[in-house]
């Protein structure tokens, strides 16, 4: 199948282009799957509903899904918003043929299209349908395909759970309205599942899909236990890179939704699991949690190097504070999941299900990694294998669960005993909160940290269906207004004993900034300049290294270092382009600075790609402490593709 226009424009190759993408068409292509049912005439009138903009396989893609009243040949038409005049799409607007089938959970038909090869920093408009029978036009905006970004995470709208669809819809719509107004530049809406109360209730689905924000920002939808019992979830949400094998379902695939999927958005590898399927088969075959672990392992091994962070999303929270905290299936997942997630280097897990908010301590292999980590710490530094688990409260106010007290007699390492540092909380949670008010989670993705905030999107006042129907509410609008923060934490990555070096490379006519990352402080090394159109240059300094030597032997010592290649996914440039000028920042311990090493760009040498001396002291030196530093000089050709590159500076100390 092909796009319905042949006009093409040149485009620069991007990283992480999904397999099967078509050639660029003013930066657009098409990725298709499956086949259409036998179509009626395209001229047949059709009505369209449930239109939703979904996340694609990467930041260059979007997936549009919708319902249709007629089985006609349909498409998505896309054009830069700037090219639309008086509501008319231009003659060279690109059309993408839709794929779909008859609905099985309700009447009508479903369709979806994957739009590919989008350009960055561009506003697009789109519509679904066919000539003479189009939906209204909607718009979205791409942003820079590299660098920092924010996304929002929402727990359990569960429309219909209160018994009043309209009230639940009002709360959900108000949370989306407030969250996107307060954060207009967010790039993803991620759900924790349970979109509706009843899996195939299309009135509830219509209420969930009503807010226009779901057609403006790409949605990454997760299957909850209230979504899984029918096919409506799959009919409303076509997801990228999805494995719909039987082991990722719990029950009949023909009548239930399921599947695991993954995508990369900028520097985050997201992996989304159908946690409803958790029972491991008794015959030893692959299924349930074991199948999910195998899936995550395979995706991380194949694609983990393409991203700086790994975030998992699934519905059933395994470290939550409320009614589901003691469920047997969640205890089972603690046993099945946690060691594998630690071994695979997962950074954070986002969950729903328990209609309350919690943020775990750093958990390694199913246990608190650092017993000294304090409750509510604003800065956390997980070691290797440390994972933060976040549970989101209700985004709609349709239902809340109250926090449970831990059981002091529970000594099971996977159980629900108290936190020795805060006996009113479970051992695994740093923060627990329930006020019976709507909230959402904001995640800021930065090169050197993740910043996670739980933010109130409502108060006790309407729209808040559960409270309107008589549930108590402890929030005070004066002290805890809409927009106030329930919890905020900065998660720092683990870097071992070396220093990570990052360089941001612009296009060949721009500037870039780069930093050295270390827990003695993130050092901003300024902005590099293009030199005479031939190469880029940036200068800065490493984080100082303190050397202490109080030995009576006065034996010689040396400190050396070498740098890896700079890498961003499958793009690299050589570490040999980095040179340095070592210096003694603070004298002592007989320290002498190593020799300067020029960038390999200057002498076609190896620069810091091989081990070079930073500083040393001879036999018989004075005892004491020295501080060593080095000025860095990075020069590399301007052919290097745009990206956010990192390299690791490995430091070695030798002494006899």
Same domain, 470 and 354: yes
Using an 8 Å Cβ cutoff, are 400 and 434 in contact? yes
Q: Spell 376-402 as b/e; 16+ CB within 10 A means b.
A: ebeebbbeebbbbbbbbbbbbbbbbbe
At 507 the pLDDT is 62
What is the chain's mean pLDDT, rounded? 88
State the pLDDT confidence band at 528, using cuts at 50, 70 and 90.
low
Assess whether 463 and 428 both reside in one domain.
yes
Q: Do 322 and 405 have their domain in common?
A: yes
DSSP one-letter string for 80-134: EGGG-BTTBPPTT-EEEE-EEEE-SSSSSEEEEEEEE-PPSS-EEEEEEEETTEE
Whether the per-residue pLDDT at 16 is higher than 80: the answer is no
Domain count, the chain: 3
Contact predicate 437/455, CB 8 Å:
no
Domain limits at 108? 29-141
Query: Does 134 reside within a domain?
Result: yes
Question: How large is the average pLDDT for residues 225-237?
Answer: 97
Question: What CATH number does residue 123 fall under?
Answer: 2.60.40.10
Q: 526: pLDDT confidence band, cut at 50, 70 and 90?
A: low
Taking only the tens place, the pLDDT of each residue in 344-359 is 999 999 999 999 999 9
State whether 524 and 472 are in the same domain: no
> Is the confidence at residue 541, as pLDDT, over 60?
yes
- The confidence score (pLDDT) of residue 649 equals 84
Q: How confident is the model at residue 267 (pLDDT cuts 50, 70, 90)?
A: very high
> Considering 433, 467, 491, which residue would you say is the last residue of a domain?
491
Whether residues 460 and 520 fall in one domain: no
Lowest mean pLDDT among 153-157, 542-546, 559-563: 542-546
pLDDT for 508: 55
Q: What is the pLDDT of residue 255?
A: 92
Highest mean pLDDT among 311-320, 486-495, 538-547, 587-596: 311-320
- For residue 525, the model assigns a pLDDT of 53
Average pLDDT value for residue range 550-557:
82
pLDDT band at 462 (very low <50, low <70, confident <90, very high): very high
The answer to whether position 480 is within a domain reads yes
pLDDT at 251 over 50: yes
Q: Where among 141, 164, 186 does a domain terminate?
A: 141
- If asked whether residues 319 and 396 sit together in one domain, one would say yes
Is position 519 within any domain? Answer: yes
Alpha helices in 153-287 (DSSP H): 165-182, 202-209, 232-236
Average of per-residue pLDDT across 255-268: 96
Bridge-based pairing of strands 485-491 and 219-220 is: unpaired
Q: Which residues on adjacent β-strands are paired with residue 31?
A: 114
- The pLDDT score that the predictor gives to residue 568 is 85
Nearest to 345 by CA among 398, 374, 290, 382: 382
Residue 638, pLDDT > 70, answer yes
The answer to whether residue 632 is domain-embedded is yes
Q: How far is CA 432 from CA 355, 476, 487, in A?
A: 12, 18, 9
Pair (171, 92) in one structural domain = no
pLDDT tens-digit readout, 384-431: 999 999 999 999 999 999 999 999 999 999 999 999 999 999 999 999
Could you count the other beta carbons within 10 Å of the beta carbon of residue 321? Answer: 28
- Whether the predicted pLDDT of 1 surpasses 90: no
Check residue 144 and give its pLDDT. 95
In what helix (H) or strand (E) does residue 349 lie, and over which residues does it extend? strand 348-352
Instruction: Identify whether residues 87 and 191 lie together within a single domain.
Output: no
Q: Is 164 found in the same domain as 94?
A: no
- Residue 50 and residue 87 in one domain: yes
Q: Is residue 352 part of a domain?
A: yes
Better pLDDT: 262 or 539: 262
| Distances 456 to 195, 388, 482 between C-alpha atoms, Å | 19, 21, 5
Percent of the chain with pLDDT over 90: 74
As a dihedral over the C-alpha atoms of residue 214, residue 217, residue 222, residue 224, rounded to 10 degrees, the angle is -30
For residue 279, give the DSSP letter: P
- pLDDT (0 to 100) of residue 9: 31
Are residues 573 and 535 both part of a single domain?
A: yes
CATH number at residue 296: 3.60.21
Provide the token pair at 32. Answer: 């298709």
Nearest residue to 642 via CA among 264, 60, 147: 147
534 pLDDT band, cuts 50/70/90, is: confident
Task: Decide if 572 is inside a domain.
Answer: yes
The predicted model gives 507-536 an average pLDDT of: 55
Band of pLDDT at residue 26, cut at 50, 70 and 90: very low
In a domain, 617, yes or no: yes
Tell whether 296 and 432 lie within a shared domain.
yes
Query: What would the pLDDT profile of 582-601 be if each residue is shown by its tens digit?
Result: 999 999 989 999 999 999 99
Asked, for residue 383, whether it belongs to a domain, the answer is yes
Question: Is residue 140 predicted with pLDDT exceeding 50?
Answer: yes
Tokens of 110: 């479903």
Can you give the pLDDT at residue 24? 25
Spatial CA neighbour of 443 closest among 477, 392, 398, 394: 392
pLDDT digit string (tens) for 66-108?
A: 999 999 999 999 999 999 999 999 999 999 999 999 999 999 9
CA distance 229 to 244: 15
- Residue 521's pLDDT band, with cuts at 50, 70 and 90, is very low
Its pTM stands at 0.82
For residue 42, what pLDDT is reported? 42
More confident residue, 472 or 22: 472
Whether 22 has a pLDDT exceeding 90, the answer reads no
Q: Which of 141, 174, 208 is the last residue of a domain?
A: 141
Helix axes 202-209, 165-182, angle to 10 degrees: 20
């Amino acid at each position: 199948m092909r796009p319905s226009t042949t006009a093409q424009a040149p485009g620069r190759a991007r990283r992480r282009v999904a397999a099967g993408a078509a050639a660029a068409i003013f930066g657009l292509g098409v990725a298709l799957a499956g086949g259409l049912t036998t179509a009626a005439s395209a001229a047949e009138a059709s009505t369209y509903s449930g239109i939703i903009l979904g996340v694609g396989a990467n930041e260059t893609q979007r997936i549009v899904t919708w319902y249709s009243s007629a089985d006609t040949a349909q498409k998505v038409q896309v054009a830069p918003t700037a090219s639309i005049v008086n509501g008319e799409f231009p003659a060279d607007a690109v059309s993408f043929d839709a794929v779909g089938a008859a609905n099985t959970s309700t009447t009508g038909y479903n369709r979806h299209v994957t739009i590919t090869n989008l350009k960055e920093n561009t506003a697009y408009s789109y519509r679904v349908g066919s000539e003479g029978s189009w939906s209204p036009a909607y718009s979205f905006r791409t942003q820079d395909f590299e660098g920092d970004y924010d996304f929002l995470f929402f727990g359990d709208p569960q429309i219909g759970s209160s018994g009043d669809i309209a009230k639940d819809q009002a709360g959900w719509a108000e949370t989306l309205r407030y969250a996107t107004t307060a954060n207009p530049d967010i790039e993803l809406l991620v759900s924790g599942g349970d979109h509706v109360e009843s899996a195939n209730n299309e009135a509830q689905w219509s209420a969930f899909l009503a807010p226009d924000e779901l057609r403006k920002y790409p949605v990454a939808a997760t299957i909850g236990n209230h979504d899984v019992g029918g096919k409506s979830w799959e009919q409303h949400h076509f997801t990228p890179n999805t494995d719909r094998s039987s082991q990722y379902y719990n029950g009949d695939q023909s009548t239930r939704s399921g599947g695991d999927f993954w995508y990369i958005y900028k520097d985050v590898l997201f992996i989304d699991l159908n946690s409803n399927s958790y029972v491991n088969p008794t015959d030893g075959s692959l299924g349930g949690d074991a199948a999910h672990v195998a899936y995550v392992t395979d995706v991380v091994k194949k694609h983990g190097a393409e991203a700086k962070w790994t975030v998992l999303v699934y519905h059933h929270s395994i470290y939550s504070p409320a009614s589901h905290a003691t469920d047997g299936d969640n205890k089972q997942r603690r046993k099945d999941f946690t060691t594998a997630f630690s071994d695979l280097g997962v950074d954070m897990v986002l969950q729903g299900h328990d209609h309350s908010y919690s943020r775990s301590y750093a958990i390694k292999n199913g246990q608190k990694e650092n017993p000294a980590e304090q409750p509510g710490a604003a800065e956390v530094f997980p070691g290797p294998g440390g994972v933060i688990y976040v549970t989101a409260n209700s985004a709609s106010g349709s239902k809340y669960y109250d926090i449970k007290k831990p059981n002091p007699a529970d000594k099971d390492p996977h159980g629900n005993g108290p936190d020795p540092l805060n006996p009113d909380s479970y051992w695994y949670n740093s923060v627990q909160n329930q006020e019976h008010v709507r909230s959402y989670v904001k995640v800021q993705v930065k090169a050197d940290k993740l910043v996670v905030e739980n933010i109130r999107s409502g108060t006790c006042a309407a729209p808040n269906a559960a409270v309107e129907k008589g549930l108590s509410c402890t929030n005070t609008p004066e002290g805890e207004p809409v927009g106030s923060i329930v919890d905020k934490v900065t998660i720092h990555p683990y870097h071992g004993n070396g220093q990570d070096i990052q360089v941001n490379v612009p296009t060949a006519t721009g500037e870039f900034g780069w930093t050295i990352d270390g827990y003695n402080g993130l050092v901003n090394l300024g902005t590099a300049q293009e030199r005479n159109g031939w190469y880029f240059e940036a200068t800065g300094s490493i984080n100082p290294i303190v050397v202490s030597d109080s030995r009576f032997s006065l034996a010689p010592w040396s400190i050396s270092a070498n740098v890896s290649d700079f890498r961003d996914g499958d793009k690299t440039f050589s570490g040999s382009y980095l040179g340095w000028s070592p210096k003694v920042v603070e004298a002592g311990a007989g320290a002498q600075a190593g020799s300067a090493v020029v960038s390999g760009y200057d002498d076609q040498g190896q620069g810091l790609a091989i081990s070079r001396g930073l500083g040393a002291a001879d036999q018989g030196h004075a005892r004491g402490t020295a501080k060593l530093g080095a000025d860095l000089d990075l020069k590399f050709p301007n052919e290097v593709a745009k990206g956010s590159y990192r390299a690791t500076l490995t430091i070695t100390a030798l002494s006899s």
